[in-house]
Amino acid sequence: MMNLIDYLPTIPDFPKPGIMFKDISPLLADKDAFSHAMSELHRLSLQTPFDYILGIESRGFIFASALAQISNKGLIMARKPNKLPTETYSEFYGLEYGQDYLEVQQNIIPQKAKILLMDDVLATGGTITAAASLVNKAGAQVAGALVLLEITELLGRKKLSEAHIETQSLIEI
Contacts to a copy of itself by CB under 8 A:
11, 14-15, 21, 23, 25-26, 28-31, 34-35, 38, 52, 55, 57-59, 61-63, 65-66, 68-70, 72-77, 79, 82-86, 105, 108-109
DSSP letter assigned to residue 32: H
Catalytic residue among 96, 103, 150, 157: 96
Per-residue CA distances from 8 to 29, 95, 120, 121, 152 (Å): 11, 20, 11, 11, 15
Q: Residue 170: which residues within 8 A CB-CB, separation 6 or more? A: 4, 37, 40, 41, 44, 147, 148, 149
43 as an active site residue: the answer is no
When the beta carbons of 62 and 142 are compared against a copy of itself, the nearer one is 62
Calpha distance 135→109 (Å, rounded): 8
Q: How far is the CB of 87 from a copy of itself (least distance, A)?
A: 11
When the beta carbons of 68 and 142 are compared against a copy of itself, the nearer one is 68
Q: Which residue stretches of the chain are H helix?
A: 25-29, 31-45, 59-71, 126-137, 156-162
157 as an active site residue: the answer is no
Q: How far is the CB of 156 from a copy of itself (least distance, A)?
A: 21
Q: How far is the CB of 65 from a copy of itself (least distance, A)?
A: 4
Active site residues: 59, 96
